Amino acid sequence: MEKFYYKVSTEYRGQNFFGWQIQTREKTIQGEINQALAKLCKSKDLKTLGSSRTDAGVHAKDQVFKASLPVDIPLKGLVDGLNSLLPRDIKILKACRSDANFHPLRDAKWKRYSYLFTSDSTSPFSWDLIAKAPGALDINLMREGAKLFLGTHDFANFRCTGTDVPTTIREILEIELKKESSTGPWGEFSYYSLEIKGRGFLKQMARLIMGSLWNLGRGKITTEQLKDAIEMKTQGKVGPVAPPQGLYLKEIQF
């Protein structure tokens, strides 16, 4: 049977889902999209492949996936049809034609994540979108510590096991800790954003980088201890896995 291929961009709030990757018993982003596609195609003979396996509770502003479908659907019909069937915390942004050779994991040149947090109490309107850091933080020290992650390193101390990978070496292209402000229905508030751009990420790597910088900012570890962990002079994690609600998959470049 002939297949038709699409490259699709989507954004979602992750707090009501057990991550991107489809699972047998849990509600996932990919699972909801597959169900909606099955209704559009009137067939379950379809496949999707995401560019990033975001964890439970993690959000995305621009997740990209490949859809292999048994029927030819016009692009506007695909976008509008999916949006009419998906829950309100998932939105299809755009779609374009693709081919069998496109692979959203292998073909990604780099990915950008943002981790949003505040050291103050979170608003009841934003607790599921911004993380609360554990205690007072030395932000300037954290900014200096973040620079240590730049470049190519073995990130074995900054990953959780679960998915086998051929190597734990990854390259961080950019990393910056910025102060941000926003205005919403609940008023104006300020927060911090850790922006990380890399060629690839290990399981929970971004959240462990954030957790280690929190420990640095709280005086739980020193800059030398963080540097030793990055350079693999010591073994083991130097910070907690930061909560999922602060993490956003922000951008992917192919």
Cα 24 to Cα 82: distance, rounded to the nearest angstrom: 22
For tokens 């069998």, the residue is 100
The candidate with the shortest Cα–Cα distance to 159, out of 172, 144, 169, 174, is 169
What does the alpha-carbon distance between residue 183 and residue 241 come to, in Å, rounded to a whole number? 28
Residues 6+ apart with CB under 8 A from 226: 145, 148, 212, 213, 216, 238
Catalytic, out of 55, 62, 99, 107: 55
Say how far apart CA 160 and CA 237 lie, in whole Å: 10
Annotation marks residue 55 as catalytic: yes
Alpha-helical segments (H) within 47-155: 75-85, 139-146
Judge whether 116 and 138 are in contact, CB under 8 Å.
Answer: no
How far is C-alpha 218 from the chain's CA centre? 25
Residues belonging to the active site = 55
